[in-house]
Amino acid sequence: MDPRTELSEFLRSRRARLRPEDVGLPDYGTRRRVPGLRREELAQLAGVSTAYYIRLEQGHGENVSTAVLDSIARALRLTSAEREHLQRLTKPPRRRSGRAAAARPQQVRPALQQLLDAMEGVPAYVLGRRLDIVAWNRLGNALTGDFSAMPPEQRNMAWHVFLDPAARELYDDWEGKATDVVGILRLEAGRDLDDPRLASLIGELSLKSDDFRRLWAAHDIRDKGHGTKVLHHPVVGRLTLRYETLRPAGDPDQVLVTYHAEPGSPSAESLRLLASWAATGPAEGVGSATPTAATEGRESPAEQPR
């Protein structure tokens, strides 16, 4: 992906969502050709010249200072995740090439896999780069999908949400889940714009899902966090679960996602039933993706069978 294009589209999308009254500017009732603040209004709020801001919004962010970025972020009312995204689009971190970074095998430490396996009553899985699902425990496998039975290219949370028909039945608020996933994927893209496998994934989702194209065009940014999800599980029915996202020390590209139910709630009992059901399944429900499972090259859209 082109960093200049990404920066330009991101800034325009954030400016378009603001109205003069949102930021304390007078609205004289004149008709606006496009929604949101005008460039000169945003420049005024940020304390920079209109010409300077226009150049930045055209994608020229190479020499912008941190102080100016902070001023623009405040003027745009950016969240912390959006601020990080803006920073990375203008000042990409020095790292090995995208191809070298993307080629590194995605594996969890043996101790982390042992922890997953020990969490018998807690559904859990590990997400790696591009939202690839790289490890899981038996109950995590039973809750959101049989990861061990999925083809390697489908062990990905974005692929699951947009291209797996079962996902629309599983998530009570599918639109909210999809919006979060796209926002996180946007943040991932900003961290490594040169990742060819991420570009291939985005291309595949764009070709096959109208909903993904719509949400991707919004340029919304999310970070993994915590909250509550309502699921409609095909075996145990409705589940109201809280989720937490934990970052293992020393593994910046991985996050551990866990789910739990309110103690004594109907969902807690349903989760116990699901655990009992999962325990009778095959042993391969527990495990991690091998280097060839979650990290082998995904076919480009042009190579996909039609």
pLDDT for 127-154, tens place per residue?
999 999 999 999 999 999 888 888 888 8
Residue 289 — pLDDT band, cuts 50, 70, 90?
Answer: low
Q: Are 123 and 142 in contact (CB under 8 A)?
A: yes
Give me the residues paired with residue 124 across strands.
Answer: 258
- Residue of 250, 252, 221 lying closest to 84 (CA atoms): 221
pLDDT digits (tens, 9 = 90+) for 163-190: 999 999 999 999 999 999 999 999 988 8
For 76, 152, 295, the CA distances from 291, given in Å and listed in that order, are 41, 10, 6
For domain 101-303, is the CATH number 3.30.70.3190?
no
pTM above threshold 0.75: yes
Residue 63 — pLDDT band, cuts 50, 70, 90?
Answer: confident
- One fold for both 3-90 and 101-303? no
CATH class, 3-90 region: mainly alpha
Higher pLDDT, 19 or 75: 75
CA distance 255 to 175: 23
Domain boundaries along the sequence of the chain: 3-90, 101-303
Q: Are 34 and 86 in contact (CB under 8 A)?
A: no
